[in-house]
């Protein structure tokens, strides 16, 4: 397979390295490393002041896009003045002939709407979240209808939230640079639980704090303090819980910090598209206890690399914490090495992009002739 020239459009909500982009930043970094490792030439379009991710990053000026993850069903799309997203799309349009494929990671209306307008080079989308609003559903389903191969998702649970696409979109599980994560064969003493993720309503922090209160185990929390009210409410609801905020750490520091946890607990209130934090925890040997909701339910092997609990069943989470010693920390690491490495991710994406390019050349390029 010949080397491809790939342009990746990053999330417009914040510069790479800020954490505002959440899991997409990690996915982008893994894609750059993995695809470059397969001999492809990768360039990145991202908001200005983005950190370099091991390849050419086109720093784009403009107003950051408001986040979509707090959208409601009827939330309209916002196009800010002098928007960075529009500038990134314009750069991609003007330079498309220098690439074989453009891979968009932004969960935003504009790049999805422009899908059929890219006639020379195909514009493909790895959708990073489940359904959020009617407008975004419409534009995602329209892109997939007009370019059936160009829209992919991270989990079947995520795809299932888009009824017209659930059985047609390719599912591409994410991956991480496993070698950056050190395996901790045993949990640190005193035993403690971990929560990793943006401090935001949809992540279910309050449920995890309730588990810490009920079990008496200390809870360490890592992640961007995106919504202070979410934090305050969780702590206020369980003043007896021992909870410490450990900050938002870059990957190398995060992996060193989380490796001592007895388990990481995920209590998503929304359909988590994938759940990068689950594979990060498992890469350090830490098992994951999660609601059977969204991507984590397709990552955790119940009873082997963690436990899956009925959604919103806090007592179920508490019971699972009592069974942690049944789990094998080495098994957690091995599953990430086998299924969720950047090599595995890059192979999945490479195969998908080959199909996107082939379909474009055989069916759509004639349209522009």
Phi, psi of 58 (to 5 degrees): -80, 105
Question: Per CB under 6 A, which region of 18-26, 51-59, 259-267, 335-343 contacts ligand HBI?
Answer: 18-26
Question: Per CB under 6 A, which region of 20-28, 175-183, 210-218, 231-239 contacts ligand HBI?
Answer: 20-28
Stretch 89-108 residues interacting with ligand HBI (CB under 6 A): 106-108
Q: Which is nearer to ligand HBI, 223 or 260 (CB)?
A: 223
Q: How far is the CB of 15 from ligand HBI (least distance, A)?
A: 13
What CA–CA distance (Å, rounded) separates 39 from 251? 25
- The one among 6, 8, 13, 279 contacting ligand HBI by CB under 6 A: 13
Phi, psi of 289 (to 5 degrees): -105, 120
Q: Which is nearer to ligand HBI, 12 or 62 (CB)?
A: 12
Q: Burial code of 178-204, b = ≥16 C-beta within 10 A, e = fewer?
A: beebebbeebeeebbbbbbbbbbbbbb
Strands annotated E in 145-199? 151-153, 193-196
128 touches ligand HBI (CB under 6 A): yes
Q: Which two tokens stand for residue 140?
A: 């995602």
111 touches ligand HBI (CB under 6 A): no
Q: Which two tokens stand for residue 246?
A: 């450990």
Question: Per CB under 6 A, which region of 66-74, 154-162, 282-290, 333-341 contacts ligand HBI?
Answer: 66-74
Q: Which is nearer to ligand HBI, 18 or 156 (CB)?
A: 18
Q: How far is the CB of 66 from ligand HBI (least distance, A)?
A: 6
Q: Yes or no: say if 307 and 323 are a contact pair by the CB < 8 Å rule.
A: yes
What CA–CA distance (Å, rounded) separates 351 from 368? 25
Q: Which is nearer to ligand HBI, 130 or 346 (CB)?
A: 130
Q: Which is nearer to ligand HBI, 177 or 318 (CB)?
A: 177
Q: How far is the CB of 88 from ligand HBI (least distance, A)?
A: 11
Q: 255 to each of 23, 248, 281, 332, how far by Cα in Å?
A: 15, 12, 8, 14
Q: How far is the CB of 23 from ligand HBI (least distance, A)?
A: 4
By C-alpha distance, which of 109, 145, 101 is closest to 127? 109
- Bridge partners of residue 290, in order along the sequence: 266, 308
Please, what is the Cα angle at 232 between 227 and 235, to 5 degrees? 130
11 touches ligand HBI (CB under 6 A): yes
By C-alpha distance, which of 270, 260, 258 is closest to 311? 270
Q: How far is the CB of 11 from ligand HBI (least distance, A)?
A: 3
Q: Which is nearer to ligand HBI, 129 or 309 (CB)?
A: 129
Site string for ligand HBI, 21-40 (x = CB under 6 A): xxxx----------------
- The one among 45, 68, 176, 271 contacting ligand HBI by CB under 6 A: 68
Stretch 221-280 residues interacting with ligand HBI (CB under 6 A): none
Q: Which is nearer to ligand HBI, 251 or 334 (CB)?
A: 251
By C-alpha distance, which of 125, 118, 154 is closest to 140? 125
Q: Binding residues for ligand HBI, per CB under 6 A?
A: 11-13, 21-24, 65, 67-69, 106-108, 128-129
């Amino acid at each position: 397979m010949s080397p491809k020239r790939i342009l990746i459009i990053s999330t417009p909500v914040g510069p790479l390295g800020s954490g505002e982009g959440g899991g997409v930043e990690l996915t982008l970094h893994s894609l750059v490393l993995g695809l470059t490792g397969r001999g492809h030439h990768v360039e990145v379009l991202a908001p200005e002041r983005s950190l370099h991710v091991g390849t050419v990053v086109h720093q784009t000026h403009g107003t950051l896009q408001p986040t979509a993850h707090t959208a409601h069903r009827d939330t309209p799309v916002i196009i800010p003045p002098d928007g960075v997203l529009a500038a990134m799309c314009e750069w991609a349009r003007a330079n498309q002939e220098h690439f074989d494929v453009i891979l968009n990671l932004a969960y935003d209306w504009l790049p999805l709407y422009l899908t059929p307008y890219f006639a020379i080079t195909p514009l493909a989308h790895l959708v990073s979240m489940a359904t959020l609003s009617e407008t975004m559903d419409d534009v995602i389903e329209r892109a997939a209808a007009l370019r059936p191969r160009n829209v992919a998702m991270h989990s079947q649970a995520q795809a299932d939230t888009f009824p017209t696409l659930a059985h047609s979109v390719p599912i591409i599980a994410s991956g991480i640079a496993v070698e950056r994560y050190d395996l901790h064969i045993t949990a640190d003493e005193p035993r403690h639980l971990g929560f990793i993720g943006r401090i935001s309503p949809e992540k279910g922090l309050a449920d995890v704090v309730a588990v810490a209160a009920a079990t008496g185990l200390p809870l360490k929390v890592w992640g961007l303090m995106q919504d202070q009210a979410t934090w305050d409410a969780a702590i206020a609801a369980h003043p007896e819980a021992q909870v410490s905020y450990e900050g938002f750490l870059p990957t190398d520091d995060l992996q060193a910090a989380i490796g001592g946890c007895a388990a990481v607990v995920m209590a998503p209130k929304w359909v988590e598209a994938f759940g990068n934090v689950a594979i990060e925890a498992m890469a350090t040997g830490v098992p994951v206890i999660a609601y059977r909701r969204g991507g984590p339910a397709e990552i955790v092997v119940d009873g082997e690399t963690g436990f899956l609990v009925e959604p919103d069943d806090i007592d179920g989470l508490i019971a699972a914490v009592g069974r942690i010693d049944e789990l094998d920390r080495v098994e957690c690491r091995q599953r990430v090495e086998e299924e969720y490495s950047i090599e595995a991710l890059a192979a999945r994406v490479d195969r998908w992009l080959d199909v996107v390019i082939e379909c474009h050349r055989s069916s759509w390029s004639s349209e522009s002739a």
